[in-house]
Amino acid sequence: MIDSEKIASDFPILKRKINNNNLIYFDNAATSQKPIQVIESITNFYTSTNANIHRGVHTLSMEATNLYDRAKERVAEFINSTDSESIIFTRGTTESINLVAETWGRANLDENSEIVITELEHHSNIVPWQELIKETNSKLKYIPINNDGTLDLSNLDQIINSNTKLVSITHVSNGIGTINNIKNIIKQAKDVGAITLIDAAQSAPHMPIDVNDLECDFLAFSGHKLLAPTGIGVLYGNKKLLEEMPAYQKGGDMILEVTYQKSSWADVPFKFEAGTPNIAGAIGLKSAIEYLMNLSMAEIRNHEIEITEYAYEQMMNINGIEILGPENIDERAGLISFNIPGVHPHDLGTFLDSKGIAIRTGHHCAMPLIKKLGSHSSARASFYIYNTKKEIDKFITEINNSMKYFNHV
Amino acid sequence: MSNYNKLGFVYKKEILDRSIKPGFDKLISNADKLITGLNPFCGDEVKYHINLKENILTNIYLEVEGCAIHKASSSFLSDVIINEKVLEVQSMCEEFISYFNKNNDENKQFKNDKLNIANPLLDIKSNQIRIKCVLLSWNTMHNNLFSKNQ
């Protein structure tokens, strides 16, 4: 059982007043806030352990290396991977997906190849493939969505076929919160010999992830959405594939041997981590994952089901509201995208901000999706471990007030 | 009601009133010029149907969708430019846009008094993210009044 009020006390920023109101932070799908434990892990690193990793024989370097390596072990544990060498640190989900596109993609796709994604994707899982198909003359296909924002899998047999080389899909839609049944899609992809990539940016922070059970080849997520600092992210990869893939960026730390004529690469995962990595970020990520695992990812999901259902039921009572995405809570993560009559999302966002409530407004980096659902923008409230029903009560009250304010009712 | 006051800094009464009733709602069947603008990021959209007589904007029919600030701003712009010469409209749009694009908090006195109609919008300069809502119509007008395609 999650005690949100107790958890909130670990987050210094949640004590802040915004426009003379207590901050209610409902923009967690954009980024999460950071607990003091994570903040202190970074401060402690810089005040007592800072050094470069994997290259010094002095005490600080060994301690920093140890912390960095343990961060990988913790990430592996977090997604139930048995091998921390399958974990590559990146800047975030976007870089993780680009890494796969630019290495595996360039090496393995040709004019007969097809990449399959869905209509739910974040721009970061659309744009790299749009660029890659131009270079490789391959094709990009989309699994369509139903009106309720769930995937229409009725023609999956035709969409994923013998030409499919890669299926890259989001686990949870950042735009409307749909949870996809990725296990079935991964199975179908494997049946035709395709590689699979899961964008777990919106799922890894909120529910248990098990790469062993999913049997995906790649899985990407960002640290900053799960209590860690910005600029650190993860690409999990099937070790055999990682070993076969060409290097990504080239330079220091990723080499085995360099002569004036040629170079050879270090083993996986270092082959993919050129230059000094974000060591402090990795240490912050380790601390964040420990914080989450201590709460239990299953309990976090239960908490989000409870408050999302609570919010959804109350929001449905708002006259004329349109909620995007699935009605069934089992198919919806802890976020609600919506539009209310007579109040543009940007006006609602500014109004709620004046009450201390932070939500996201706009297209949520999923322009084609929001457009397909018949809109240019929506308001989005997204919840996390520190959010409470009391906060949702105030949120609902202020949505109603905004309608009076803007419509002069 | 300090919070409402704070909100009122952006949403002045004139802005709220014009967002509900932007005016200029009489259809023009024989427009000489159609000027359209869209911000695909948020869906703010505007269409100005204009009658021109000897380079003077004699009649405007305004169609506007989007947020309150954009709707009000489109309405203010209509009041500013009606019965003005095309060249003067260009010059007023430039002056208004440049007020929002300059970093310094310069004097709000415009050279052309008619621009003062739009004064309720000026404090939105302090809300960086909403400046684009103010300026969509003004940029659209400025960039397209001379265009043959629109």
Nearest to A221 by CA among A115, A91, A112: A91
pLDDT over threshold 90, residue A374: no
What residue in B sits closest to A407 (Cα-Cα)? B20
> Among positive and negative, which fits the CA dihedral A353, A356, A357, A359?
positive
Structure confidence by residue, pLDDT tens digits, A33-51: 999 999 999 999 999 999 9
What pLDDT shows up at residue A371?
85
What pLDDT shows up at residue B111?
84
Nearest to B6 among A19, A344, A346 (CB): A19
CB atoms B42 and A346 under 8 Å:
yes
Contact A157, A106 (CB under 8 A): no
Number of Cβ atoms within 10 Å of the Cβ of A260: 5
Residue ranges of chain A that CATH labels 3.40.640.10? 39-294
What pLDDT shows up at residue A408?
66
More confident residue, A374 or B54: B54
What pLDDT shows up at residue B107?
65
CB atoms A351 and B7 under 8 Å:
yes
Mapping DSSP to helix (H, G, I), strand (E, B) and coil, where does residue A297 land? Answer: helix
More confident residue, B134 or A409: B134
**Exposed / middle / buried, residue A158 (Cβ in 10 Å: 0-12, 13-18, 19+):** exposed
What residue in A sits closest to B16 (Cα-Cα)? A406
**Exposed / middle / buried, residue A137 (Cβ in 10 Å: 0-12, 13-18, 19+):** exposed
pLDDT over threshold 50, residue B4: no
Nearest to A58 by CA among A66, A47, A70, A68: A66
pLDDT over threshold 90, residue B3: no
Nearest to A20 among B2, B11, B68 (CB): B2
pLDDT over threshold 80, residue B128: yes
Q: CA B89 from chain center: how many Å?
A: 11
Instruction: Identify the CATH class of A39-294.
Output: alpha beta
**Element of type H or E holding A109:** none
Q: Alpha carbon of A301 to those of A205, A227, A365: distances in Å?
A: 9, 15, 24
A6-20, A48-62, B6-20, B106-120: which range is least confident on average? B106-120
Mapping DSSP to helix (H, G, I), strand (E, B) and coil, where does residue B15 land? Answer: helix
What residue in A sits closest to B3 (Cα-Cα)? A354
CB within 8 Å of B136: residues ≥ 6 apart: B37, B39, B44, B46, B66, B70, B73, B74
Structure confidence by residue, pLDDT tens digits, A291-349: 999 999 999 999 999 999 999 999 999 999 999 999 999 999 999 999 998 899 999 99
Contact list in A for residue B16 (CB cut-off 8 A) is 405-406, 408
Average pLDDT over residues A373-397: 95
Instruction: Identify the CATH class of B2-144.
Output: alpha beta
What pLDDT shows up at residue B104?
62
CB atoms B3 and A20 under 8 Å:
yes
pLDDT above 70 covers what percent of chain B?
A: 91
φ, ψ of residue B33 to 5 degrees: the values are: -145, 135
Rounded CA-CA distance A167/A153 in Å is 14
CATH code of the domain occupying A4-26+296-407:
3.90.1150.10
What pLDDT shows up at residue B103?
73
φ, ψ of residue A137 to 5 degrees: the values are: 60, 25
The one-character DSSP state at B104 is S
Give the closest-approach CA distance of A336 to chain B in angstroms: 18
Nearest to A19 among B3, B130, B133 (CB): B3
Structure confidence by residue, pLDDT tens digits, B32-50: 999 999 998 888 999 999 9
The one-character DSSP state at A247 is P
Rounded CA-CA distance A386/A342 in Å is 31
> Scanning the structure block, which residue is given the tokens 């912050």?
A284
Residue ranges of chain A that CATH labels 3.90.1150.10? 4-26+296-407
pLDDT over threshold 90, residue B73: yes
B81 touching chain A per CB within 8 A: no
Structure confidence by residue, pLDDT tens digits, A45-93: 999 999 999 888 999 999 999 999 999 999 999 999 999 999 999 999 9
CB within 8 Å of B137: residues ≥ 6 apart: B37, B46, B48, B64, B70, B73, B74, B77
Contact A235, A88 (CB under 8 A): yes
Average pLDDT, chain A: 96
Type of residue at A395:
F
Interface of A with B (CB under 8 A): 19-21, 344-347, 350-351, 354-355, 361-363, 367, 375-377, 405-408
Rounded CA-CA distance A46/A41 in Å is 9
Type of residue at B126:
S
**Exposed / middle / buried, residue A26 (Cβ in 10 Å: 0-12, 13-18, 19+):** buried
pLDDT over threshold 50, residue B150: no
Q: CA A224 from chain center: how many Å?
A: 9
